[in-house]
């Protein structure tokens, strides 16, 4: 909606770069198309292991656009903890920042439901980089999936100070509110 109402206004400012709402919307559509082509759809979980970045930001909205569930981790977690989150959530896709190549390899080898791994940044692991996926699908529209207020959109994992991390489920209705 912001892209339609305010296409040229700043929507994200990150590390000296500025993206308009229209640029964000185009990147979100492109990544959502790439994720959909890889089998991600409404209700599927997308695990994301990354420090804050523009690509992480875009991945969140791409998951929401598809009606998928965005499952961000704390980038300080050890690989075994990320395996637990991947397995517990039933994640089908894994987007991992290039700083964590070891995490990507270990999680991919041990999370039974994962279908693919893509990397953020300059990376030499996974099928593709997220920037390559966005470039390949840039200009392709991707409509918003029909979601209900009670459909999950974000598994927000606790820090796990009393044991294993637990997921607080944020719904589309809660996020819209």
pLDDT of residue 160: 64
Is the Cβ–Cβ distance between 97 and 54 less than 8 Å?
Answer: no
d(CA 19, CA 171): 27
Q: Which residue numbers in the chain have pLDDT < 50?
A: none
pLDDT of residue 162: 72
d(CA 150, CA 146): 12
pLDDT of residue 132: 95
pLDDT of residue 165: 83
Each residue of 34-74: pLDDT tens digit? 999 999 999 999 999 999 999 999 999 999 999 999 999 99
């Amino acid at each position: 909606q912001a892209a339609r109402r305010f296409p040229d206004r700043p929507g994200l400012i990150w590390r000296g770069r500025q993206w308009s709402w229209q640029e964000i919307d185009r990147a979100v559509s492109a990544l959502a198309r790439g994720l959909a082509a890889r089998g991600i759809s409404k209700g599927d979980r997308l695990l994301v292991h990354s420090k804050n970045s523009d690509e992480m930001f875009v991945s969140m909205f791409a998951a929401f656009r598809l009606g998928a569930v965005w499952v961000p981790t704390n980038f300080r977690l050890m690989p075994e903890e990320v395996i637990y989150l991947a397995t517990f959530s039933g994640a089908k896709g894994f987007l991992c920042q290039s700083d964590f190549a070891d995490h990507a390899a270990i999680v991919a080898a041990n999370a039974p439901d994962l279908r693919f791994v893509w990397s953020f940044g300059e990376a030499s692991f996974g099928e593709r980089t997220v920037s390559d996926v966005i470039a390949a699908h840039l200009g392709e529209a991707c409509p918003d999936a029909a979601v209900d207020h009670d459909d999950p959109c974000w598994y927000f994992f606790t820090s796990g100070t009393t044991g294993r991390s637990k997921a607080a489920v944020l719904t589309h209705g809660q996020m819209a509110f």
